């Protein structure tokens, strides 16, 4: 009798275990079987991380990794359940125009006019998606919404074009015409945080005894926290060399 009860209990446990597995299987199938849900969920996860631009850069390869177990799981499922090329094609489409956003021939529905008077074009929905400043600008009753023109007297056309191109492609190439410090200023102005971080990374790698003062002022003025920390660390490790330079600079500025 006891053996029968034991077998019965065992059967119940096995049944519960089977039901649990079936439930998990149903959940997995319902969650991962719908490609629309997968794409939507993966987009949300990537939007939660500051490394979103790194994912863009690695598109086309078969191994995108995010600093999140959830992100890795979702993207792993993407590779298994969705043709990954479909996702990469959707993203790369924006950077594959005959005239790229970096080209002077590029045209769209809004334009920026820089300090040099040159016009730089962009699509409103792209800029709105990347910047809360642009979102407010084009959704509120502001003159930019009506005219489609944004005056930017504090940035040249090459700097604006670099900003626009980044919003399309998540790629940035710093040049003499569009140096990191100038791009950082416009990224701060329009609250494009990922671009701002890319500028800080570039500037952190170029700290010297000669430019440490300028970079410190830049970091404070434009709230570049990572750059500010890097400058502080450089000052601490090179104090004996840097301090006399700063002292001489302060003396010369005061006379």
Among 137, 167, 192, the domain-final residue is 192
Report yes or no on 198 lying in a domain: no
HSE-up of residue 2 (Cα within 13 Å, Cβ side): 0
- 86 lies in the same domain as 104: no
**Residues in the chain where the model's pLDDT stays below 50:** 1-70, 84, 87
Of 90, 52, 25, 60, residue with least CA distance to 195: 52
187 shares its domain with 213: no
User: How far is 201 from 152, CA to CA, in rounded Å?
Assistant: 25
Is 75 found in the same domain as 111? no
Distance from C-alpha of 2 to C-alpha of 133, rounded to nearest angstrom: 73
Residue 200 is assigned to a structural domain of this protein: no
- Contact by Cβ (8 Å): 129, 136: no
| Domains contained in the chain, number | 3
> Is residue 130 assigned to a domain?
yes
Q: What is the pLDDT of residues 108-167, one digit of tens each?
A: 889 999 999 999 999 999 999 999 999 999 988 888 888 999 999 999 999 999 999 999
**Within 13 Å, how many C-alpha atoms sit on residue 238's CB side?**
16
Residue 201 lies in a domain: no
pTM for the complete prediction?
Answer: 0.61
Domain final residue, candidates 95, 129, 160: 95
Shared domain check, 82 and 51: yes
Q: Which domain holds residue 219?
A: 206-255
């Amino acid at each position: 009798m006891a053996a029968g009860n034991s077998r019965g209990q065992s059967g119940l446990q096995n049944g519960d275990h089977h039901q649990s597995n079936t439930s998990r299987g149903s959940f997995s199938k319902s969650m991962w079987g719908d490609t629309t849900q997968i794409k939507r969920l993966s987009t949300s996860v990537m939007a939660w991380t500051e490394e979103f631009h790194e994912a863009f850069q690695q598109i086309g390869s078969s191994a995108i990794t995010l600093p999140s177990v959830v992100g890795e799981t979702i993207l792993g499922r993407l590779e298994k359940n969705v043709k990954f090329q479909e996702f990469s094609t959707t993203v790369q489409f924006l950077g594959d125009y005959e005239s790229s956003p970096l080209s002077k021939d590029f045209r769209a529905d809004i334009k920026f006019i820089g300090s040099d008077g040159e016009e730089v074009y962009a699509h409103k929905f792209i800029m709105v998606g990347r910047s809360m400043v642009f979102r407010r600008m084009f959704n509120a009753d502001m003159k930019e919404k009506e005219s489609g023109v944004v005056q930017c007297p504090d940035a040249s056309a090459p700097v604006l074009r670099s900003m626009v191109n980044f919003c399309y492609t998540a790629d940035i190439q710093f040049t003499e015409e569009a140096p990191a410090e100038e791009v950082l200023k416009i990224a701060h102005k329009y609250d494009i945080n990922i671009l701002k971080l890319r500028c800080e990374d570039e500037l952190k790698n170029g700290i010297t005894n000669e430019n440490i003062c300028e970079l410190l002022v830049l970091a404070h003025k434009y709230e570049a926290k990572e750059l500010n920390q890097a400058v502080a660390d450089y000052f601490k490790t090179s104090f004996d060399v840097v301090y006399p330079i700063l002292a001489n600079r302060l003396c010369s500025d005061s006379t």
